A and B are shown apart, each in its own frame.
Chain A
Amino acid sequence: MRIGLEAKEITCYHCGDKATVEPVVFDAHEFCCEGCSKVYQILSSNNLCDYYLIENSPGMKVPLLAGKFNYLDDEQVQQKLIDFRNEQITKVTFFIPIIHCSSCIWLLEHLYKLDGAIVNSRVNFLKKQITVTFKNDSSSLRKMVELLASIGYEPAINLNDIETEVGKTTDRKLIYRIGVAAFCFGNIMLISFPEYFGLDSFTRGAFSSFFGYLNLALSIPVFLFSARDYFTAAFKGLRKRYIGIDVPLALGIFVLFVRSAYEVISHAGIGYFDTHAGLVFFLLIGKWFQQKTFDTLSFERDYKSYFPVAVTAVKGGKEESVPVTNLHIGDRIIIKNNELIPADAILMQGEANIDFSFVTGETSPVPKVPGELVYAGGKQLGSTIELEVVKKVSQSYLTQLWNNEQFNKDNDSHIQSFQQVVSRYFTFGLLAVAFGSAVWWLLVNPLLALNAFTAVLIIACPCALALSSPFALGTAMRILGKYKFYLKSSDVVEQIAAIDTMVFDKTGTITQPAESSITYMGEVLYDEEKTWITSLVCHSVHPLSKKIKNYLGEQLLIPLVNFSEFNGRGIEGTVAGNKIKVGSYAFIFPARESMGFSGENPDVLATRVYVEINGKVPGYFQIKHSYRNGLKKVLASFDKEYDLYLLSGDNESERSRLSSYFSDSDKLFFRQSPLEKLQFIERLQNEGKRVLMLGDGLNDAGALKAGNVGISVTENTAHFSPASDVIMDASMFVKLPAFIKLCKNTLRVIHWSFVISLLYNVVGLSFAVQGTLSPLIAAILMPLSSVTVIGFTMVATTVFARNGGLK
């Protein structure tokens, strides 16, 4: 009876998994499977066992699939993937999501020990990328990928890599512009100091014109190179009859430079060169601060980032790898365990068990029988199946969503930012004051007219206004990022602050898939029986089996015989001589099922998994969908300020349960297709609502895109999430009200700092309109106002965050 119970805890030397039943032993180390032991053999035969010294059990499980990467021999595919190629070498960058520890870096950077064709390999840990350079004559792209896959680091190559254009060079122009501006600003300030301190009398004016021309020379790169973007942006805006913040900025920069140059050349003064360089420098710093991005996240993913490049098709009785873009209606395709179905297809052979969690957020797989239609986007779990394609990849039920016009236009649903609104009035006000003072001086003292006119444009240049938004929004974005609430860009903060309607998806968004609550009902299970059940369910890849395994906790594993899995129904096997069956009501009680009993209680939204031990049924596991912790509190806190809606692709069975969460049960909508979700959002927007959409799966992709703000909720931010403005870690769901409050408060900070910058402008203008703006006053006022505004926005935003419970 108790034969296997002495089995001791064995963890795999390579991947750290619990080695089940009979570990594979090699070199006096235990491994959980052949794959792991094989990787160890590769590494040890190449003297690379240091890998195991850096971290404990750093490796990956390796599913070996022959012929999987044959599509990489295709010339067109190669062209899209390769960074650089000449006669001798090829350089290529792969994304390897599995990279997770320093051992990974170590091994991947010693690839040349495994394959002599590899010249060099470099890892970027944060981006999880590896750049490999190899010799063309002794290797190929396919061999590279196969090598990486064979040691457990399979690169993620998807349709998006193939379809998008190459040219992934990072834009570093802004950094160069800041560097040049900083260099010029520092030197100009140094050279201007003698003038400010009145040392000129000491040097008898000998240096005055030398310093002036030197300053002029140093200012030219700032004017022509560093400030260039402001001129092009202002020019572009004016051509579209749009006045943004760039217009007064460009005007200020231009007037500063021209007037200073005129003063130096005509020996009338020393000009405002340091104000000019400082202004450009601070503005660029603001731009840079605002541009922070989260490297490891992608906000632009559509179905192409998720779909495979190639699929196995049967042509003339032979299996071959075919790019999914070349799939035609009527093609037969083969889908193996854990592979994705790329197009709507009819199941021809095999038992399908489709996991649609990426599409709908629903984690329980759906069983399908031959003859049924299977939508694209699902993942097959279990045995190999054969399907016949009925629609092209881009025309499938799911993928046709991306043909909607929402995905082709730039998002113009965006609310105008505070800066955009204010800068228009500001520009007209500024021009009015400038011309007003010019006219007044023309009447009083015409010699001072031009002086006063330019001085107004210089001092009123909305530097502080232009800085307040980037620094306030950038600070808020960084704080939110710490709480795993990642914004696509800092502008999203303002968009979030402006919304008045919230739309929630159900499955995966307000329900928690991973922690669905599971309970056991029935006769108490003996410890021995728990061991048997665990030993059985650990052989199944079905998510319910995994949940039961987790629920039963750490158990010893006993050898299992006669294991068989009945797709979508249950599993059975013999453990230590006991016949164990685990599965649905229909599986355990086939006779009663045929008499019309279902065993499910329709009032309880739960899935039941029955257990049978040696012909007796002690009880069942009940797995309930549970809503996220704190859902009630979150919704209640939004209820006063926002219109709340629910859009679900599921049926209405949960309506009554959800009614207690949403105050207005008329705003719950069920059976919504992906396209209907999108249209629903558009309808709300046509009513003048500003909509925030929270969703998780690909079926929400349209709604996320259409909404003024789309937040995709994900259990693991490293995993796939559809294109959206925000990626939020699901564990932070309770903090959602705090996040939104911070966004609103950040907008208030911007308003206040605008007042501060206006005060500075009033002081400066009072000098300017009198025609007494000296270079020294400008040189003090400009940096002072900038630094005040930067300091104020950053401190105030942080204080608001702290008060809102976000440190």
Chain B
Amino acid sequence: MSVMYLLIGCSLFLALCALGAFIWIVKSGQLDDDYTPSVRILFDDFKSKPELNEED
């Protein structure tokens, strides 16, 4: 039954990862605006690469 210690450790670790991800998502502002990204994703990229932005 001592495998339980390992299993509980694993489950806690996974749950901690989820909590960490949640905090990261909130902190980086991804949940602040739940509308604009849904529009943004539908925009097509430029066919020709923008030439003035990149410094090359």
Q: Interface readout for A182-224 with B: 1 if CB under 8 Å, 0 if not?
A: 0100110011000000000001001100100010000000000
Smallest Cβ-Cβ distance to B33: which chain A residue? A124
| Distance of A174 from chain B, by nearest CB (Å) | 10
Where the two chains meet, the residues of B that have a C-beta atom closer than 8 Å to any C-beta of A are 1, 4-5, 8, 11-12, 15-16, 18-19, 22-23, 26-27, 31-36, 39-40, 42-44, 46, 48, 50, 52-53
In contact, A124 and B36 (Cβ under 8 angstroms): yes
Tell me, in angstroms, the Cα distance from A124 to B39 when the chains sit together: 11
Q: Which residues of B contact A112 (CB under 8 A)?
A: 50, 52-53
Residue numbers of A with Cβ under 8 A of B are 47, 50, 54, 102, 105-106, 109, 112-113, 116, 122-127, 170, 172, 175-176, 179-180, 183, 186-187, 190-191, 203, 206-207, 210, 214
Residues in A whose Cβ lies below 8 Å from that of B36? 105, 122-126
- Which 6 residue pairs are nearest across A and B when measured between Cβ atoms? A125-B36, A183-B19, A116-B52, A124-B33, A102-B39, A179-B22
Which residues of A lie under 8 Å from residue B1 when comparing CB positions? 203, 206-207
Given the known inter-chain contacts A123-B36, A187-B15, please indicate yes or no for A175 contacting B26, CB distance below 8 A: yes
Complex: how many Å from CA A179 to CA B22?
Answer: 7
Q: Give chain A residues whose Cβ lies under 8 Å from the Cβ of B23.
A: 176, 179
CA distance A655 to B43 in the complex (A): 58
Q: Which residues on the B side are within 8 Å of A116 (C-beta)?
A: 52-53
CA distance A105 to B48 in the complex (A): 20
Report the Cα distance A183→B23, complex, angstroms.
11
Q: How far is the CB of A328 from chain B (nearest CB, A)?
A: 42
Smallest CB–CB gap between B49 and chain A, Å? 11
19 A-B pairs besides A50-B44, A179-B22, A206-B1 with CB distance below 8 A are A105-B36, A105-B39, A112-B52, A113-B50, A122-B36, A123-B36, A125-B39, A126-B33, A126-B34, A126-B36, A127-B33, A172-B27, A179-B23, A179-B26, A180-B19, A187-B12, A207-B1, A207-B4, A210-B5
Give Cα A123–Cα B34 distance, bound, in whole angstroms: 12
Known contacts A127-B33, A183-B18: does B26 contact A176 (CB below 8 Å)? yes
Tell whether, in the assembled complex, residue A47 and residue B52 are in contact, meaning their CB atoms are under 8 Å apart: no
Q: Which of B16, B34, B46, B48 has the most CB of A within 10 A?
A: B46
**Cα–Cα distance between A175 and B26 once the two chains are bound (Å):** 8
Smallest beta-carbon distance B43→chain A, Å: 5
Bound-complex Cα distance A47 to B19 (A): 44
Known: A126-B35, A172-B26, A175-B26. A214 touches B53 (CB 8 A): no
Distance in angstroms between the alpha carbons of A125 and B46 in the assembled complex: 22
Q: B36 CB to closest chain A CB, in angstroms?
A: 4
B46 to chain A: which residues have CB within 8 Å?
47
Q: Is the CB of A106 within 8 A of B19?
A: no
The distance in angstroms between the C-alpha atoms of A187 and B46, with both chains bound, is 48
Residues of A near B12 (CB, < 8 A) are 187
Contact check, B33 vs A109: say whether CB atoms are below 8 A apart: no
